[in-house]
Amino acid sequence: MSAHRARVARSYVDALGTQRDAPPETVARFEELLAGDPRGFVAPTVVLREDAALTVEVTLPAMSWTENLRWTLERDDGTSDEGTVALREAPLLCADHRVASTYDTRRIAIAGPQPLGVHRLTLTVDAYGRGTTHVVVVPAHAYPVRGRTWGIALQLYTLRSERNAGIGDFADLRAVCRLLGERGASYVGINPLHATFRTDPESASPYAASSRVWLNCLYIALEDVPEYDSPLMRAEILDEGLVETLAAIRATPQVDYAGVADYKNEVLRTCFTVLNNVAERGGDGARRDLFDAWCAERGESLTRFAVFEALVARFGRELAGWPETFRSPASPDVAMFAAAEHKEVRFAMYLQWLAAEQLAAVAADAARHGVRLYRDLAVGVDVNAADVWADAEAYVAEASVGAPPDVLNTLGQDWGLPPLDPGGLSRGGYAKLLAIVQANCRDAGALRIDHAFSLARLYWIPRGADPRSGTYVGYPLDDLRGIVALASVRERCVVIGEDLGTVPDGFRELMESTGILSYRVLLFERRADGSFAAPEEYPPLALATAGTHDLPTIAAWLRGEDAELRDRLGMLETPLDAERADRERDRALLLESLIAHGDLAAGERENDVAVVVAANRYLAATPCAIVMAQLDDLLEEREPVNVPGTSTEYPNWRRKLATSVEALASDQRLERLCTALSELRPRSTP
């Protein structure tokens, strides 16, 4: 398989059906950024499906055809093989007549099928070339979904409880998983758990994080930290100032991220002191030994993330403002800084250990109650992210990811996220993507990949330019869906590809052939005349849901409150009255569909809970493998958690639920929904 050549689209059709020509200067700039080297001796990475013979394409001067090629294959399990192939016996694929010589490309049969994993192949032809390529063997299919199941999705930070520190945490999640497991759910969905910026907690979007590999430490449940139960810690938490702080941040209707971060930072630093003091004073150091072993196992990736956290605390969030010698993790100055700030680096590692420890414990406890976590993987990270600093060559800093004009934003969207470099992914053996996907499949039964079209193409915008001046850049979908399948099988995790918007030709078919579920939202599943698709029209290999984090809740949608909000924010291009008329028509169509299917009684049209239950009953009748209800819908929340296209204009990612975790146990709305879904989709016995 030859190296991927990124394709820059000169024109495209947007979600509104409009043909758009990309600005020539944009196309030229992106082609310059993505220009690869001429065809080399061997591609940097070869992706093979399991059971396929190991073959590679090599390009050498034509005069080398009488030579032998020697190869050595080092597998990731530590075993190896070697052999020799006569070039004259390899089929000629093409000839490239260059200025100095003619180069032949031949297909070389190396060996039979290889085990799943990432292997290293070294090729040598004396006097003509030597090269190394990554051989990534991937499964034909992702981990399979079983049966027709259901679950409930929530935003973790919105959970309100009598014991948390002003933000939903892993202990709250454990309680909800137990509750829903006892009521027949198979999944509990959560927002991305990606690490945000500890020094800038108000930058709260889980979709513009610092790292997609590491976790958000704000979700650590303080009482579940073993070091929390110590004399030093007990003395601190009784401090009058801390008691008042805790009461204040717990009572706010929105998450006070700065207050939560300050409180948890103070408590967890004391816990870290306890961990170190126990061992240093001759006590039981077994737990610190566990911490050290975990850090060693996570290796250089964890170290770089932790050093980055310390550097941000010193120099701020903007990487461009850092001293030049600190902008590369390989710099000697960075090594000296890490040594000098050893305690801070270790504290950052400690936070990640606690978060990973608690997430794994929640997943294990949930499984005992019949529930698996359904995690979410964002499409990218912030331009100043730890992931970008740790591996800058994997990203394209001169561009940002977004979307062309669509129904949510007719001006287009610039998400500000630097795209992964498709050529850089291949040169690195797809290790970056594999690490990201596998980290998010861990401790989960299902993973939603946000904007899964990124496996095939991404809308790039020249950094700082208007979103409408962007265009699509292609990615090697065949390779990337194989990488996703490998992570899925390794972690035994079902994968859902969020495929809303303008679907690239053949995308859904290829994802289906890989066993990756489609993502179907009730409000968008329409026939050509605008009526709602019948349940039997949904595909089996899909997840169906009534809403997402970017959509209004059902209660707000039924009343057109989302249109009114967008109008107040100056985001509505059509007159509000026209939007209201369209919504009234759509509302009537939805309610009539629910009534006709037998899910909603005609007399309950104005009952929000009845409509929510009916909508999910309607979806439960589809052949879709998974149905996910939204907790916000069921609890009759009216304010959205996020308004796409806004940042400071609306308090995104902050609103807490009005109903507490403790109250959910006796909530009749939840009981009604769970009973309905359990009757239609009873949990099968393993």
User: Which architecture characterizes domain 51-137 according to CATH?
Assistant: Sandwich (2.60)
Residues 201 and 198: their CA atoms lie apart, in Å, by 6
| More confidently predicted of 279 and 98 | 98
pLDDT tens digits, 454-488: 999 999 999 999 998 999 999 999 999 999 999 99
pLDDT-based confidence at residue 35 (cuts at 50, 70, 90): confident
Domain spans of the chain, in order of start: 51-137
| Pairing mode of beta strands 446-449, 372-377 | parallel
pLDDT reading at 621 higher than 50? yes
pLDDT tens digits, 202-257: 999 999 999 999 999 999 999 999 999 888 887 777 777 889 999 999 999 999 99
Beta-bridge partner residues of 55 = 109
- Average pLDDT on 263-271 reads 95
Query: Side-chain half-sphere of 59: how many Cα atoms within 13 Å?
Result: 19
Cα–Cα distance list, 261 to 189, 198, 200, 267, 338 (Å): 24, 7, 9, 10, 23
The two three-digit tokens of residue 103, written as one number: 């180069």
3-state helix, strand, coil in the chain (%, to 5): 40, 20, 35
pLDDT tens digits, 180-198: 999 999 999 999 999 999 9
Q: What is the pLDDT of residue 456?
A: 96
Residues 634 and 659: their CA atoms lie apart, in Å, by 11
Beta-bridge partner residues of 448 = 376, 496
Cβ-based neighbours of 440, under 8 Å, separated by 6 or more: 192, 193, 212, 375, 376, 377, 447
Residues 294 and 214: their CA atoms lie apart, in Å, by 14
Q: What is the pLDDT of residue 94?
A: 87
Residues 476 and 517: their CA atoms lie apart, in Å, by 19
pLDDT tens digits, 119-171: 999 999 998 889 999 999 999 999 999 999 999 999 999 999 999 999 999 99
* Phi, psi (degrees; rounded to nearest 5) at 375: -90, 175
* Phi, psi (degrees; rounded to nearest 5) at 498: -70, 110
Residues 1 and 342: their CA atoms lie apart, in Å, by 45
Residues 655 and 158: their CA atoms lie apart, in Å, by 6
Sign, CA torsion 360/363/367/372: negative
Q: What is the pLDDT of residue 1?
A: 38
Reported pTM: 0.95
Query: Side-chain half-sphere of 54: how many Cα atoms within 13 Å?
Result: 28
Residue with token string 């003395």: 235
| More confidently predicted of 284 and 342 | 342
pLDDT > 90 in the chain, percent: 86
Query: Side-chain half-sphere of 252: how many Cα atoms within 13 Å?
Result: 21
pLDDT-based confidence at residue 14 (cuts at 50, 70, 90): confident
pLDDT reading at 280 higher than 90? no
- Average pLDDT on 613-639 reads 98
Nearest-CA neighbor of 202 among 649, 652, 640? 652
pLDDT reading at 494 higher than 90? yes
Q: What is the pLDDT of residue 283?
A: 52
Torsion, CA 663, CA 668, CA 672, CA 677, rounded to 10: 10
- CB-CB contact of 72 with 119 (8 Å): no
The two three-digit tokens of residue 230, written as one number: 């110590």
Report the Cα 560 to chain-centroid distance in Å.
30
- Average pLDDT on 603-614 reads 97
Instruction: Tell me what the pLDDT averaged over the chain comes to.
Output: 94
Strand order from edge to edge, sheet including 68-74: 45-49, 129-138, 117-125, 68-74, 80-86
